[in-house]
Amino acid sequence: MLNLFKGLLFGIAYVAPIGMQNLYVINTALGQPKRRAYLITMIVILFDISLSLACFFGVGQLLASVPLLKMLLWLCGGSFVAVLGVQLMRSSATPLDVDATPTTFHYRKAIAAAFAIAWLNPQAILDGTLLLGAFRASLPGVKGDLFVSGVALSSFIWFTGLTTIVSLLKSQLNAKVLTWINRICGVVMLGYAIKLLSQFALALF
């Protein structure tokens, strides 16, 4: 159980810093009814856990050995995140009623976004492989299984907790504040996109 707890602590420390997934979960909790926000959060968790498992078992080695695949991920991921960022910057938010159902929401688009922010960032995959791979090397067998299970549990706890807190607080925010939160999230996501696309450009030239 000690290794499960170690994995839980590591997972929280790994996922807690502000990144694309956190920004996406926050924005979804702010802009969607609670039930829908939790559903999208579960999808984010699914992709996050799948990425952690892939990193733990060494998918980063594939990216390291196939540069073209890494470049494609930089290009596709950067372009997709750029679109998300621009959409957030241009959106105008209004406080939602609990039973509100925005007509502009599409689940396929939400699933694609959740996948993109988790899997279309080769640097995150490589970094995750280095960190989780190091633990796998030192925790063979059942110990490693318990550790990565703790990492998966941390993803569930963190993102559901984040969604709960934001959902509870959003009723206290007016439309202007929500709009500015959208814009700030959009700017940060655009920054991530520029970073990914610049890495593609550097590798290309």
Q: What is the pLDDT of residues 78-114, one digit of tens each?
A: 898 898 888 888 876 554 444 344 446 688 888 999 9
pLDDT at 155 over 70: yes
Give the pLDDT mean for 48-59: 89
Q: Give the number of other Cβ atoms within 10 Å of residue 121's Cβ.
A: 25
The more confident residue out of 59 and 48 is 48
Give the pLDDT mean for 191-200: 88
Q: According to the 3-state scheme, what is the secondary structure of 126-175?
A: HHHHHHHHHHHHHCCCHHHHHHHHHHHHHHHHHHHHHHHHHHHHHHHCCH
> Which of 171, 169, 190 is CA-nearest to residue 88?
190
Residue-level pLDDT at 97: 41
pLDDT band (50, 70, 90) for residue 45: very high
User: Angle at CA 150, nearest 5°, toward 56 and 60?
Assistant: 15
Q: For residue 47, give the 3-state DSSP assignment.
A: helix
Query: What percent of the chain clears pLDDT 90, i.e. is strictly above it?
Result: 28
Q: Print the domain residue range for 160.
A: 2-204
From CA 205, how far away is CA 200, in angstroms rounded? 9
pLDDT band (50, 70, 90) for residue 182: confident
pTM, to two decimals: 0.82
> Which of 181, 31, 35, 184 is CA-nearest to residue 105?
31
> Total structural domains in the chain?
1
From CA 126, how far away is CA 143, in angstroms rounded? 23
What are the C-alpha distances in Å from 53 to residues 4, 145, 183, 186? 14, 10, 33, 29
The more confident residue out of 7 and 124 is 7
Mean per-residue pLDDT of the chain: 84
